[in-house]
Structure 1
Amino acid sequence: MAVDDCYLRSNPSDNVLRELKKAHQFETNRRKALTVAEQNLLLSYLSKTPKYQHWYPIFAVMLGTGLRVGEATGLRWCDVDLEEGTISVNHTLVNYDHRENNGGRKGCYFNCHSPKTKAGVRTVPMMDFVKEAFEKERAYQEEAEIRCTVTVDGYTDFIFVNRFGECQHQGTLNKAIRRIIRDCNDEVLAKNPNSTVLLPRFSCHTLRHTFTTRMCEAGVNIKVIQDALGHSDISTTLNIYADVTKELRKSEFENLDRQFAQWKDPEE
């Protein structure tokens, strides 16, 4: 806030924890993305299961854009241009415990914050299935007569709201994911007890990491990946998110092996 209000030129605490972890050589668990098969199972199950169809749009959008959960839940209809196929990311919806009295109220409330860095403000291209997800969400809300009923720090008309028209909470989304994993796997195993493709335990942030992994697998330029994810430091993109799958590494080395094998004499 001091930086935003021009009391400080920069935040002296930026990256302090990262440098501390590096100095003490702390180990961090590497995030694991969903495989292509797991990703397809998730989307297929959500789209075909009436009980969970209302969750398809938000999870499809997160999976197809790499938005942070607060960026996704904070999206407004004016931030989405379906004709141009773009999403404007310019704020984040956050929820935290107000310890002090807040206008006569205490407890957890939503706030809208501007992105921490300039890189956070960005325009994300929209793939076709993401566009369809937004259209499905609009159709669902019109049919169910659901509309946004809240205003947070001057922001309103949020896209992803619950049945009461209130903003979606990250905890609610992760609880929904746990129920989806349980019911989806039960259904798969009931059809085929020997199935090798089941949904692993994952969270909302896993969808962002999965999107990043799919971009890496597709050979997308690292700078494009950085811009799409809103990273101010490219080392974040390289060190944390460039975690390609074993299948990709194997195929890359198979291609490399074929290239090295070209020098051999065909008659040998």
Structure 2
Amino acid sequence: MKNQIVSINHQLTYRKYEGDSHATFRITLTKGKNTRIIPMTNRLRKVLLDLKKDYKYFHTEETVDGMSGFLFCTMRGSLQVTSMFNSDLKALVNEYNKTAEYPIDEISSYTLRHTGCTRNAEAGMDLRVLQYLMGHKSMRLTTLIYNHVQMQRAKNAVLRIETQKVQSM
């Protein structure tokens, strides 16, 4: 926390592994098997500190492969899994759409990741930095799948270049 970085070096998975009779939690290497050191924004730091402060209310005593102290737990104190998180998002969207003038489509953890990547690209984040933050081995994946170009984004990029040329004259 004091260095304001997040080290992504493992992940919590929940599935039925070979030899198991039912799904279990395990700590595994990340999909890319690399460690990424991600700079933490002040906003993220505050969110994580708030989670830690509320830890006494929503936590689990579970230990998975020697690790404990998980921040992302359900209100019942069990470990949060992606499918449950996606189910919660679906319920929120359904509730919102009951009275919404402009209903929204389904949202998932993947949608949030996808949107975050696209918005960072739209804000002008260097694509190599974006590739690193997303944990992609290939720039192709970052640009083709996650990085959508809308007309407004194209206009903004052209105007930014034009403005830079005028200012340098």
Structure 2: segments with no counterpart, 5+ residues? none
Alpha carbons 2:93, 2:105 under 8 Å: kept? yes
* Cα RMSD, aligned residues only: 2.4
Inter-partner Cα distance in structure 1 for 2:126 and 2:97: 35
Inter-partner Cα distance in structure 2 for 1:249 and 1:185: 31
Relative to 1, partners in 2 of residues 1:252 and 1:122: Cα closer, same or farther, differing over 3 Å? same
User: Does 2:110 correspond to 1:205?
Assistant: yes
Q: Partner of 1:108 in structure 2?
A: 23
Inter-partner Cα distance in structure 2 for 1:245 and 1:107: 44
Q: Partner of 2:9 in structure 1?
A: 90
Relative to 1, partners in 2 of residues 1:185 and 1:246: Cα closer, same or farther, differing over 3 Å? farther
Structure 1: segments with no counterpart, 5+ residues? 1-80, 263-268
Inter-partner Cα distance in structure 2 for 1:215 and 1:121: 21
Equivalent in 48, 64, 82 of residue 134 of structure 1: 48
Residue 107 of structure 1 aligns to a residue whose secondary structure is coil
Q: Partner of 1:235 in structure 2?
A: 140
Alpha carbons 1:150, 1:165 under 8 Å: kept? no
Q: Normalized against structure 2, the TM-score is what? A: 0.83
Q: Partner of 1:169 in structure 2?
A: 81
Map 1:69-84; keep pairs closer than 5 Å. Answer: 81=1, 83-84=2-3
Counterpart residue identity of residue 104, structure 2: L
Counterpart residue identity of residue 124, structure 1: I
Relative to 1, partners in 2 of residues 1:88 and 1:257: Cα closer, same or farther, differing over 3 Å? closer
Give identity over the alignment, percent: 24
Equivalent residues, number:
164
Pairwise CA distance, 1:258: 6.4
Residue 23 of structure 2 aligns to a residue whose secondary structure is strand
Q: Partner of 1:184 in structure 2?
A: 96
Higher relative contact order (CA 8 A, sep 6+): 1
Map 1:1-268; keep pairs closer than 5 Å. Answer: 81=1, 83-98=2-17, 100=19, 102=20, 106-118=21-33, 120-142=34-56, 144=57, 146-187=58-99, 189=100, 193=101, 195=102, 198-253=103-158, 255=159
Alpha carbons 2:60, 2:77 under 8 Å: kept? yes
Task: Considering fraction of residues, name the structure with more helix.
Answer: 1
Inter-partner Cα distance in structure 2 for 1:185 and 1:86: 37
Inter-partner Cα distance in structure 2 for 1:128 and 1:185: 32
Alpha carbons 2:55, 2:71 under 8 Å: kept? no
Pairwise CA distance, 1:256: 8.0
Relative to 1, partners in 2 of residues 1:256 and 1:99: Cα closer, same or farther, differing over 3 Å? closer
